[in-house]
Amino acid sequence: MREELFRLIKDHAYRFREEPFTLASGRKSRHYFNCKEITLHPERLELLCKYIVGQHLPESGLSNSEAFGGLTMGADPICFGISLEFRKQSKNVYPLIVRKQAKDHGTKNLVEGGVNAVKSCVVVDDVITTGGSTLQAIKSLRDAGLEVKACVCILDREEGGKAAIEAEGIQVFPLFKKSEFGSLE
């Protein structure tokens, strides 16, 4: 399954061009990974979440996690897919959505979902570069009273994000690293 996911990412999510892309972090790179080409495609998302739940989480020691959450929108489909994969095993594992900013009406929550049903969460992201989005999600999850146990991401661009997240005491378990895609940069 991992090899098939790798091929799907390489064929559908990875782009190279001479004129650099501007990344969410503000950095420039000729290499771009748009993992939404995986997470917003039903068949690819299903394969991704089957792999995460069936192989990646057990190998990472995270099979008994209560919830998965991350900053909207990169993490949303992954968290929902993981939750549905666990439902196939008759387990309730909650997807949590972390807003980029609190609503100015209603409950004004930054974290939505089964926050009161769980004590801990694994933070999720699609691509980690500097770790800024993931760190924002971690802060919001912690502020909501949750223990953040670990981080799972599809791709670590190997540009300092993993170290920044681990400096917060959170182990990062990427499915893939940028260096696996050949001599990139």
Annotation: binding site for 5-phospho-alpha-D-ribose 1-diphosphate: 99-100, 103, 105, 125-133
**Residues in the annotated binding site:** 99-100, 103, 105, 125-133, 157
**How far apart, in whole angstroms, are the C-alpha atoms of residue 48 and residue 94?**
17
Residues 6+ apart with CB under 8 A from 53: 82, 85, 86, 89
Angle between helices 42-51 and 76-87 (to 10 degrees): 60
Q: What is the pTM of this model?
A: 0.91
In angstroms, the CA 55 to CA 63 distance is: 9
Question: Quick one: tokens of 2?
Answer: 């991992």
All structural domains of the chain, each given as residue ranges with its CATH number in brackets, are 2-180 (3.40.50.2020)
The tens digit of pLDDT for each residue in 99-150 reads 988 766 666 789 999 999 999 999 999 999 999 999 999 999 999 999 998 9
What are the tens digits of pLDDT across the range 22-46? 877 788 888 889 999 999 999 999 9
Q: Decide which of 170 and 182 is more confident.
A: 170
User: Known binding site for orotate: residues?
Assistant: 129, 157
Q: What pLDDT, on a 0 to 100 scale, did the predictor assign at position 184?
A: 44
